[in-house]
Amino acid sequence: MTTSPLQFVPPQDFHARSRAALDDVQLRQSFKGAMTFLQDKRRSQFGDDDELQRLRDLGEAVRKNALAKLPALLERLEAKLTAAGATVHWAASPEEANAIIHGIATARGAHSIVKGKSMASEEIELNHYLEARGVKCLESDMGEYIVQLAGEKPSHIVMPAIHKTRADIGALFAEHIPDTEYTEDVDRLIQTGRHTLRNAFVEADIGLSGVNFAAADTGTLWLVENEGNGRLSTTVPDVHIAIMGIEKVVEKLEHIVPLASLLTRSATGQAVTTYFNLISGPRRANELDGPRELHLVLLDNGRTQAYADEELRATLQCIRCGACMNHCPVYGRIGGHAYGTTYPGPIGAILSPHLLGLESTADLATASSLCGACGDVCPVRIPIPQLLVRLRTEANRSPDAEVEHPLRGQGAKYSRGERLVWRFWRGAFGRPGVYRMFRWAATRLRVLAPTQQLGWTKYRTPLKPAPRSLADLLRDKNQAQ
């Protein structure tokens, strides 16, 4: 089996990629069907709106409680895991996280890693880093495996290969998996993928996974999955490395239960996911399976920047369900790859500036109509539209402005010309005489206005002129006579 080299795309090229995506009719049709399906599935799981709102209130309270106590909970989690025989590592940046994982692999002479689904490992470009140093990484989640073969990043945080058709996957398997015939039969494609991956769990030197939630009171890592590959990745190899963002910790194990209920129903419309994996340490002396070593890498990578600001801290409440993406009219038309970031869609637009800086992600905050759909469906009530407006403000703020919690890349979209324009508008609308003069001039210069709707409205149905009133029709008739 061979994989294609990873295709890197800088997030600052968002406008060019989004235009290309809008011109791709097949992509738009595929995403429209997929988003409608996921919206219907979610709606079917929340038939009782009162129950949904109470559960959202509870989920929000759990996440806010954990974030309010975050430093203490992380230390408590570390103490519990260490007492159980695990090793906890702290990584401030992707470079540190990659070096830690590579160091573990080197110390054990490891040459292969089998991976369960982990968005944090995507975030730090772990596969690319390790393969450049002679350590092969194999994705075992079917969607991740497909995009790995294609040399792409996931286009959705829950369904990484949602942009691929059956024909695309059939061609990939036929090209990269030896002795595989082209087919578009879904069952045969799934069986081909499973057969190819099966031996990887036994042969791998290290298993790596993400973490959905971690309970500080018990030192438990909670993993959510549907395919069983996460369970195999974390139990079959002798070494298990888990990587998680520092915001994933909660105070008590019981607090995870409502979050898990919200996660599965919001993400894929399932009443419950197929597998819940609870890991509280390496194999004990009297146990027959499980890893002999457990390592947890706690990743910051800009999260403390969001945490320091009381308003932006709400970004870290996210449980990675993808519901905001499934309901976003912008994401539904351009897909995930247009964003050029690990986390696309509305959640990516408010999280990526902290991970990568506003200088490369400022355009993402404007990739929204502010319709509010993302905030309406967020299971933990993140005020995404409000945070998008805040990030737009920070991107347009003067780079030299003194603020309590400056963001990396503050002022990335700052323009003196734009500030002059807004100063003009403020002056014109604040003085009746100036406003009347401006209105007089504007009505006579309207011939200079563009005749074509520009921007994202180009891809919508043009606005229809308002119907004329009976009085207008009679007046025109009398003037004609």
**Helices 345-356, 384-396: crossing angle, 10 deg rounding:** 40
Neighbours of 396 (CB within 10 A): 19
Burial class (CB in 10 A: 0-12, 13-18, 19+), 387: buried
Which of 12-26, 64-78, 236-250 has the least mean pLDDT?
A: 12-26
- Edge to edge, the sheet with strand 220-225 lists 249-250, 213-215, 220-225, 275-279
Greater confidence, 452 or 389?
A: 389
Q: Is the pLDDT of residue 70 over 80?
A: yes
CA gap 349, 387 in Å, rounded? 9
Q: How are beta strands 87-91 and 293-299 bridged, if at all?
A: parallel
Q: What is the pLDDT of residues 404-418, one digit of tens each?
A: 999 999 999 988 888
Q: Is the pLDDT of residue 277 over 70?
A: yes
Among 229, 221, 235, 214, smallest CA distance to 293 is for 235
Average pLDDT over residues 301-318: 97
Q: Is the pLDDT of residue 456 over 60?
A: no
Q: What is the pLDDT of residues 358-382, one digit of tens each?
A: 999 999 999 999 999 999 999 999 9
Average pLDDT over residues 281-307: 94
Q: What pLDDT is attached to residue 318?
A: 98
Q: If pLDDT is split at 50, 70 and 90, which confidence band does 450 have?
A: low
Q: What pLDDT is attached to residue 11?
A: 74
Burial class (CB in 10 A: 0-12, 13-18, 19+), 41: middle
Q: What is the pLDDT of residues 140-179, one digit of tens each?
A: 999 999 999 999 999 999 999 999 989 999 999 999 999 8
Element holding 277 (H helix, E strand): strand 275-279
pTM of the model: 0.87
Q: What pLDDT is attached to residue 454?
A: 52
Average pLDDT over residues 74-88: 98
Q: Is the pLDDT of residue 472 over 70?
A: no
Q: What pLDDT is attached to residue 254?
A: 97
Q: Is the pLDDT of residue 4 over 80?
A: no
Q: What pLDDT is attached to residue 465?
A: 58
Q: What pLDDT is attached to residue 247?
A: 98
Q: Is the pLDDT of residue 75 over 80?
A: yes
